[in-house]
Each structure stands twice: as structure tokens, then as C-alpha cells.
Structure 1
């Protein structure tokens, strides 16, 4: 185990929760930060808060309400339904312009004030639904930019970058937190904890990954 501290960008969903416990194994101490951007389903923040409280993890929720004003989409507006299938052109309407850019930037500012160099995120290029801010090239580019902007050595860790949902379920199982990830996280675009609504793209991806994982066991 590394005795250094890490900041985990934490939504309370499957991926970030798996990464939270991955970070607990790898680092001496972790701090989780979540973001309130007036998302449609605030319950995800409650899930994040509950998981951290239950497992003794320091947790902070930062206000990013301006993002809601700047980037209206299906995750922030009740009158916009989430695309059930990917559009033939362009990005899904669940993509929030600038979200990860702002999340990781604020996470870096937060980390530097506490003398922390490590930032952990659950983004994945294998299962990124076409989101450009989940790509490895974006993370590497931003890592360099953050280091230059603050004259500080950050390292952004992406343990899920090259694995699919089945392998993410396996990672949770290997970490001994499969029951937590399966029952206490919120991935569903319709705000239903655990297995979710079963109908939205996020639930579909999660379920297919879980079934594939079960076949692998």
C-alpha cells in the first residue's frame, strides 16, 4: 500500500464506487468529493454520502450549479428525456459539456490545498458511450495541463480506463465489495438505486456487464 493520500471523484455510481475501494486498497488514506450541479436525480449525492459515512471515508460535496445553467441536457432537465439509443451523429443527450473537465480541475484545486498529488476517477474508454471527456487522451492531456497550471505534480489514476463493465464487476468482487456496488450504488439515469430501471442506457450497460461477469465466474 502507498502511504500517500488520494482524492477520489465520487458520484455514488458503480464505476466511482469501485474506484473508491480500489483507492482504499492502494493508498494510505482517501478523500471522496462529489459535485452538486443541480442534476436531475440528487439521490446520487445521497448514495455517495451514505457509502462514505458507512465506510468511514471523508466526503465533501462541492457546488457546481453554474454547470447546470451552461449545459442543459437530459441529466439536468426534467423536460428532456434520455436518449435510449445512441444518435447516428453527434453525442448522446446525456453528455454534459465540460463536466469532467470541471470536475477534475476542481478536484485538483481541492487536492493541492491539502498537499495531495493523486486523483482517482472511474472514467473508461471501453464503456464511455461516446463521451469525449472519458477518453485516455483527454485525461493525459488534462493531467499535463493541471500540472502546468498549478506548478504541481498531480497524477490522475484511471483504473477502469481499458476494461469493460464485466471486468469492473470482477474488480469489485476481487476487492470484496461486490454487494456494496450491486445494491448501494446509483447508475440509473432515472434515479433508481441498485439494479435501476432496467431500461435506460446506463442500466442496460450495467446489466449486460453483470451477466457477462457471472458467466466468467
Structure 2
């Protein structure tokens, strides 16, 4: 059975890619250039797909950054550092991003004759991103199922999992986390200070494994 995975190049979606492939699906990956400062993530998505011999499509919707600016896309907005708080988390929300990405991904999946579309929303995203909440996932499941004759099924299998649990699953699957990118700042090395770096570092520490990527700051593993 064919399946499409929405792949950002980060830890969660890369783990999901390995996971779906391990289940015997004929996997296709789709990624998006939506004007994000951290477009470097797409380089890693491409490398992972090459490693796994998975067809990979990158869709350029960079105009979206102008329509729906946030700290992730606007050059004159600073990316918040440290753990996400109510006062900073909304700055990194790209309005309606996942609905747009999932809609395009669904069209691609339907064109391939795929019956399933996977994306990597997880429990840690819920307080931060409205379009990662379980309610959103359920609503999109219904919408995408009804949107075409094929009856496409949206699946977000990590929606109740914490980041460290996804990491554990990835280590079991043999995920090469050196080929993933999480940092929202998109520098030569991960900054180690933004919200996604902070969450990534915390996950590796909880699992008791050193992160294989390089950081601008020294991390006490």
C-alpha cells in the first residue's frame, strides 16, 4: 500500500518516515519550502530520503511567508529562546500552516493512489501549535476523507507521545539523527538556545544519549 509522509527534516517526522517504512508501506515523502528561516531542514530531509531510497518531493510555497508571517519566517522577527511560554510560543506559530501543508500533501497522496497520509504531530506540540492538537487532527481526518473519492486516511500516530518517547522509538528503528535538523535559526550549527533546540536537547538527555549534531554552545550531556 502506498503512503505519503509529510517530512520536515526534523526529529519527529524523520522518525515517522522510518516507522512507516518499517511497516511495509511503499513510502513517498513530501516537504515544503514555506519561507522558513530554517530551510536547512530540507537538506536533511533530502539526505534521509536518499539514504532510504524514498521518492521525495519538495514543494515551493515560499509566498506563504508574506501571507502569514511569524518569527519562523519574518527576517525582522527574532526567534524566541529557551523553553516555550505563553508569551513567546505564539510568535512561532505560522497561521494555518499545517492545514495548508496537509491539504497539498493530500492532493499529492490522492494523485499517487495512496490510501494513507502521515504527519508527525506529537504531545509536546499541543500547547504551542493549534494545528497539532488532537481536535485539529480529528477534524482534518474527516475533511480529507470526504475531500475526494479515494477516502484518504490521515494518521498522526505520535499525537499522544512525548518527544523522548519518539526518540526512543527512532533509536529502535535505527534512525540516523545526525541527518535531522531542529533549530529554528538555521545557522551552520544548531543554536542550542531556541525552543526546538531546547526540547531536542532535553529529549536526548532524558533518554541518556548524546545528540550527534553540533551545537553553537557547549552542552553538558
Deviation at 1:26, TM superposition (A): 1.3
8 A contact 2:144–2:153 mirrored in 1? no
Task: Give the aligned CA root-mean-square deviation in angstroms.
Answer: 1.8
Q: Secondary structure at the match of 2:124?
A: coil
**Alpha-carbon contact 2:4-2:30 (below 8 Å) kept:** yes
1:35 match: secondary structure: strand
Structure 2, gaps ≥5 residues long = 210-221
Q: Distance in 2 between matches of 1:132 and 1:122?
A: 14
Structure 1: distance between partners of 2:106 and 2:161: 25
Please say which of residues 4-13 and 185-194 is displaced more in the overlay.
Answer: 185-194
What TM-score, normalized by structure 2, do the two folds share?
Answer: 0.88
Residue equivalent to 1:112: 110
Q: Partners in 2 of 1:184 and 1:99 — Cα distance?
A: 24
Does the CA contact (< 8 Å) of 1:127 and 1:164 recur in 2? no
Which stretch shows the higher mean deviation, 162-171 or 146-155?
146-155
Match of 1:78 in 2: 75
Shift, 1:159, TM fit: 2.2
Deviation at 1:69, TM superposition (A): 1.6
Distance 2:63 2:156 in 1: 26
- Residue equivalent to 2:144: 146
Q: CA deviation at 1:94?
A: 0.8
After alignment, is 127-136 or 16-25 more displaced?
127-136
Deviation at 1:13, TM superposition (A): 0.5
SS for the counterpart of 1:126 is helix
Task: Report deviation, 1:73.
Answer: 0.9
CA drift at 1:8: 0.4
Match in the other structure for 2:192: 198
Equivalent-residue separation in structure 2 for 1:67 and 1:27 (angstroms)? 34
Aligned residue in 2 for 1:124: 122
TM-score, L = length of structure 1: 0.89
| Alignment deviations for residues 94-116 of structure 1 (CA, whole Å, 9 cap, x no partner) | 11011100111111100111110
Q: Does 1:99 align with 2:73?
A: no
Structure 1 residue 34: deviation in Å?
0.3
What residue number does 1:209 align with? 203
Report how far residue 163 of structure 1 moved: 1.0
Match of 1:45 among 42, 47, 55: 42
Classify 1:71/1:23 alpha carbon distance in 2 versus 1 (closer, same or farther; 3 Å).
same
Q: Does the Cα contact within 8 Å between 1:197 and 1:203 map onto a contact in 2?
A: yes
- Alpha-carbon separation, structure 2, partners of 1:50 and 1:90: 32
Trace 1:20-35 onto structure 2 (pairs within 5 A).
20-35=17-32
CA gap 1:123/1:165 in 2 versus in 1, 3 angstroms: same
Tell me, which stretches of 5 or more residues in structure 1 are unaligned? none
1:65 aligns with 2:62: yes
